[in-house]
Amino acid sequence: MAEIRLEGVRKSYGGNTVLSGLSLDVRHGECFTLLGPSGCGKTVLLRLIAGFEKPDAGSIRIGDRRVSDTAASVNVPPNERGLGVVFQDYAVWPHMSVFDNIAYPLKLAGVDGRALRTRVMEAVAQVNLGGLESRLPSQLSGGQQQRVALARALVAKPALLLLDEPLCNLDANLREEMRFEIKELQRNLGITILYVTHDQEIALAISDRLAIMDEQGGIRQIGPPAEVFERPADRYVFRFMGLANFLPVRRTADGLFVGGSDQPFPWPPPGGEGARWLAGFRPSDVRVARDGGGLACRVKRASFLGAMIDYLIEVEGSLFRTQVETHEALARGLVLGEAEPCRAAFQGIHWFEDRETREGR
């Protein structure tokens, strides 16, 4: 069993508080992602779980073992926590061959001889590095080094694997491939994975559940990817999950109006009672047309991107972005020039109450 339970974890460096009383549960056997901007404390959280840092307050449990508890002065060193860690910079030992890198955890555990060789070769095969085991890391590509790090973290069969942005130094194709492989390994081995990243695309693709963290080290929302994407808890989460447009909308007794204007906003109203709202929507939630229903807008900027045309559109002093597929734009006569008027309709609007009015898009 390798669920993780954090309670009231606090950590600060000097006067700089990174985590202030954070609590979190990661279930056994799931792939859980901590998603947040850089500097939000997600790496610190991972390092606390690994035991590289000591919390100022709070407790951390891995399985049924208390690995860190300030109240009881418990702090288990990292080598006794029984986990695998993959670092952002791979941290493959440059003076050891691929084989020796992967064998090291087993040697420390007292495995030797034939058993050692068999298990190392198993791990090598698992990450598709067969035939490269006698190479030195300097003779490997970035992706191959990443696999060595992964094999090394997995070889001792830890119940919990911690991954700190392991893919962000790889190029796009390799990143996608490794993403599938990690997911595959997790399913096959049935281990718990805690994955830390700032890349929402990877987080959505790989996680069973994810937590969105903000710059203050707080958790804004926890849930399965589809839920977080479709029902964001707040504006912050909505914005973090992809390119986001926000349109200020005013509610009066007569209905909804765009910004401060008289142009009505003819879509289902928000559930709450407030007067000022932001309509949040993705570029893909916009339907652009030359005329017909929807808001009267004007094209501010048009950029041809090949398969897509990207439009920046102005409506009553606010801007939003959308994209139209090129062949559709050609078929429907939607190749719009700058300053041309157009109509825009929305679907799937997320309503957020607008407390700080000035903060626009």
Q: Is the Cβ of residue 137 or residue 294 nearer to another protein in the bound state?
A: 137
CB of 22 to another protein, least distance (A): 18
Strands across the sheet containing 245-252: 255-258, 245-252, 276-281, 350-353
Cα separation, 109 vs 205, whole angstroms: 34
Number of H helices, E strands in the chain: 9, 20
Q: Is 236 in the site for another protein (CB under 8 A)?
A: no
Q: Is 94 in the site for another protein (CB under 8 A)?
A: yes
CB of 91 to another protein, least distance (A): 4
β-pair partners for 85:
162
CB of 67 to another protein, least distance (A): 10
Cα separation, 355 vs 337, whole angstroms: 35
Strands across the sheet containing 4-13: 16-26, 4-13, 57-62, 65-69, 74-75
Q: Which amino acid is at 81?
A: R
β-pair partners for 46:
none
CB of 351 to another protein, least distance (A): 38
Q: Are 97 and 136 in contact (CB under 8 A)?
A: yes
Cα separation, 255 vs 235, whole angstroms: 23
Q: Are 287 and 276 in contact (CB under 8 A)?
A: no
Neighbour tally for 72: CB within 10 Å: 9
User: Binding another protein by CB under 8 A: which of 53, 133, 316, 354?
Assistant: 53
CB of 283 to another protein, least distance (A): 34
Q: Is 159 in the site for another protein (CB under 8 A)?
A: no
CB of 250 to another protein, least distance (A): 45
User: Binding another protein by CB under 8 A: which of 74, 109, 125, 275?
Assistant: 109
Q: Is 36 in the site for another protein (CB under 8 A)?
A: no
Q: Are 198 and 35 in contact (CB under 8 A)?
A: yes
CB of 209 to another protein, least distance (A): 24
Q: Is 213 in the site for another protein (CB under 8 A)?
A: no
User: Binding another protein by CB under 8 A: which of 50, 62, 196, 228?
Assistant: 50
User: Binding another protein by CB under 8 A: which of 23, 27, 37, 108?
Assistant: 108
Residue 339 is encoded by which pair of tokens? Answer: 């300053």
Closest CA to 71 of 56, 50, 61, 53: 56
Cβ neighbours for 80, distance < 8 A, ≥ 6 positions apart: none
CB of 330 to another protein, least distance (A): 48
In the region spanning residues 74 to 93, those forming contacts with another protein, defined by CB under 8 A, are: 75-85, 87-89, 91-93
Q: Is the Cβ of residue 162 or residue 295 nearer to another protein in the bound state?
A: 162
Q: Is 51 in the site for another protein (CB under 8 A)?
A: yes
Site size toward another protein, by CB under 8 A:
37
Q: Is 52 in the site for another protein (CB under 8 A)?
A: yes
Q: Is 126 in the site for another protein (CB under 8 A)?
A: no
Q: Is the Cβ of residue 156 or residue 295 nearer to another protein in the bound state?
A: 156
Closest CA to 40 of 224, 255, 220: 220
Q: Is the Cβ of residue 178 or residue 342 nearer to another protein in the bound state?
A: 178
Closest CA to 5 of 79, 88, 61: 61
User: Binding another protein by CB under 8 A: which of 43, 144, 192, 221?
Assistant: 43
Q: Is 54 in the site for another protein (CB under 8 A)?
A: yes
CB of 13 to another protein, least distance (A): 8
Q: Is the Cβ of residue 107 or residue 361 nearer to another protein in the bound state?
A: 107
Stretch that binds another protein, among 103-111, 249-257, 286-294, 311-319 (CB under 8 A): 103-111
In order of 54, 152, 154, 195, 331, the CA distances from 186 in angstroms are 28, 15, 10, 12, 45
Neighbour tally for 298: CB within 10 Å: 14
Cα separation, 108 vs 116, whole angstroms: 11
- Applying CB under 8 A, the residues found at the interface with another protein are 13, 43-44, 47, 50-54, 75-85, 87-89, 91-95, 104-105, 108-109, 149, 152-153, 156, 162
